[in-house]
Amino acid sequence: MTLFDVYPLNDITITKAQGSYVWDENGVQYLDLYGGHAVISIGHTHPHWVKRIEDQLEKIAFYSNSVHIPIQQELADKLGKVSGKEEYQLFLVNSGAEANENALKLASFHTGKKKIVAFNKAFHGRTSLAVAATDNKNIVAPVNETGNIDFLPFNDEAALKEYFQTNGDKVAAVIVEAIQGVGGINVASESFLQLIRRLCDANDALFIADEVQCGYGRSGKFFALDHAGVNADIYTMAKGMGNGFPVGGILIAPYIKPKHGMLGTTFGGNQLACAAALGVLEVIERDNLIEMTKQRGMYLINKLKSIDGIDNVRGKGLMIGFDVPEDLKDLRKKLLHDYFIFTGEAKPNVIRLLPALNITRKQVDEFLDTLNEAVAEMKAVVAHAE
């Protein structure tokens, strides 16, 4: 049997990983500033996380949600403490798309309305509602076109106000990434997020913060929306929540009352996933990783801004993007193949950095030195050719 061939691959086989490093099958070491697409939060194969999973595996890996599962409450308590959202309710799922799917469905159940507002360049996942709210025509199948999703320009307050003037009463939810990830690291302005909050309040619509990529400490606060000083009605999470173990969740405000059977999942909240998620939170709390992320992020962003040749450095914490001009268009490939550094791509001309939250200062400096060298080398080649 062959694999369904849908992923454009780097021609690399990774067989081992630890902290911010991964190794290929020949033992070549790579510095990882991509984290398998923002998934690695506390570093690959973190010993505390491994132990948490191993200990749980010996007790019980799975029993269905038809019985009490105390480790779910343990996770909810820890998540409430670390995120500061103690009053919210936790519903556990397996992925980011599933989190958004349930959040959107719940908003429609709760409000009795159908319209969803999403934004240009948004990415919310590949299940039916999540993909319909994603601004990429290539991944929306005809069956996903519900006609219920309206896309508005990101960060455009006038357009949002105008839309709500005529359609506000029909809106069930606004779904937004406080920092767009796949769309190219676009930071929502605080006033834009505050306006969404006000318009949702005035129109009985729910504010859904998709924190699948920008959340869980990555922006230097637990949720990226926290920077704007407003709360969402529903937060969705996945990726960094499990550090590589598939687990996602949604935080639901206390005034949203689920009915039995409204949401459900077989695997969501299984004991093993909860142990992995607890392992992550314990390390985030113990090692003060959110504050560390903020500091490291400021350092990295400032240093990147001083590199001549890359443009428009942006982001918050350790969710950083920059534009690569045409003469450096192969920079990401060069970093990977010549310098053994993984970075992410958003568009061909945007490099995304999503390192582990506990990447060391030394590793950040190693990256910056290498980036400087690679940029200088590529510019010299271009200058020579001219």
Which residues of this protein are in contact with ligand PMP, per CB under 6 A?
Answer: 95-97, 100, 123-125, 177, 181-182, 210, 212-213, 238
Shortest Å distance, C-beta 277 to ligand PMP: 14
Q: Which is nearer to ligand PMP, 96 or 279 (CB)?
A: 96
Shortest Å distance, C-beta 163 to ligand PMP: 22
Q: What angle do CA 129, 134, 139 make, to 5 degrees?
A: 90
Tokens in use for 50?
């491994």
Shortest Å distance, C-beta 384 to ligand PMP: 39
Shortest Å distance, C-beta 125 to ligand PMP: 4
Q: List, as own/partner pairs, every contact residues 341-345 make where C-beta atoms lie below 8 angstroms and the sequence separation is at least 24, other chains included.
A: 341/30, 341/31, 341/33, 341/367, 341/370, 342/22, 342/30, 342/31, 342/32, 342/33, 342/34, 343/33, 343/34, 344/33, 344/34, 344/37, 344/38
Shortest Å distance, C-beta 145 to ligand PMP: 19
Q: Which is nearer to ligand PMP, 181 or 279 (CB)?
A: 181
Question: Taking a C-beta distance cutoff of 8 angstroms, is the pair 238, 92 a contact?
Answer: no
| CA 7 to chain CA mean position, Å | 19
Instruction: Provide φ and ψ at 89, rounded to 5°.
Output: -110, 140
Shortest Å distance, C-beta 99 to ligand PMP: 7
Number of separate helices (H) and strands (E) present in the chain: 11, 17
Q: Which is nearer to ligand PMP, 177 or 340 (CB)?
A: 177
Residue tagged 């405000």 (tokens)? 253
Pairing of strands 179-180, 350-353: unpaired
Cα–Cα distance, 62 to 208 (Å, whole number): 30
Q: Which is nearer to ligand PMP, 123 or 235 (CB)?
A: 123
Residue nearest to ligand PMP (CB): 96
Q: Which is nearer to ligand PMP, 38 or 230 (CB)?
A: 38
Q: What angle do CA 18, 22, 26 make, to 5 degrees?
A: 125
Q: Which is nearer to ligand PMP, 22 or 39 (CB)?
A: 39
